[in-house]
Amino acid sequence: MFRLDERLEADSLPVGMRDGCLVRLVRDARYPWLLLIPATGRFREWWELTADQRAAVDGLLADCARVLAALPGVEKTNLASLGNVVPQLHWHVVGRRAGDPAWPGPVWGHGDPRPYSPGESVALIARLRSELELTP
């Protein structure tokens, strides 16, 4: 039975679903930052997924990185899956640029998140949903 970790839910906004995975936008407008969470079970580790699930995740991660890379100002995409604080299996896909608030270090724990304005998040979510071909 799938249940989204409350910390992931609190820190992000729903974008949509594809290939059995949730895609969510992290509530920090300093970086275009997506979470990808397999929503078909209670996974902690990447290797627990079937080969088909891993292939689907790989394709979706590539698409997320490609779409973020096309956003204005994004020069580099970062991909990470740690799980030390939130053990539910999830990936971070983050659009970066030289001179962003955490550059060149990691985004975690660097300053306070800047919330999206309502219009800003609605527009970005709509664009992401369309370009990633997600269902709401």
Task: Convert the pLDDT of each residue in 100-129 to its tens digit.
Answer: 999 999 998 889 999 999 999 999 999 999
Q: Residues 61, 22: contact at Cβ < 8 Å?
A: no
Res. 96 pLDDT band, cuts 50 70 90: very high
For 62-79, b where at least 16 C-beta lie within 10 A, e where not — what string? ebbbebbeeeeebeebee
Cβ proximity of 90 and 8 under 8 Å: yes
pTM > 0.85: yes or no: yes
104's CB contacts (< 8 A; 6+ apart) are 98
The SS3 of residue 58 is: helix
Compute the distance between CA of residue 21 and CA of residue 134 in angstroms, rounded to an integer: 10
The size of the chain, in residues, is 136
Sign of CA dihedral 45, 51, 53, 57: positive
- 35-65 pLDDT per residue, tens: 999 998 899 999 999 999 999 999 999 999 9
Q: How does pLDDT run across 71-85, given as a tens digit for each residue?
A: 999 999 999 999 999
The span from the CA of 94 to the CA of 80, in Å, is 9
Q: Which of 85, 71, 87, 73 has the alpha carbon at shortest distance from 25? A: 71
HSE-CB at 64 with a 13 A cutoff on CA atoms is 33
Residue 11 to residues 5, 50, 133: CA-CA distances in angstroms? 10, 28, 23
| Mean pLDDT computed over every residue of the chain | 96
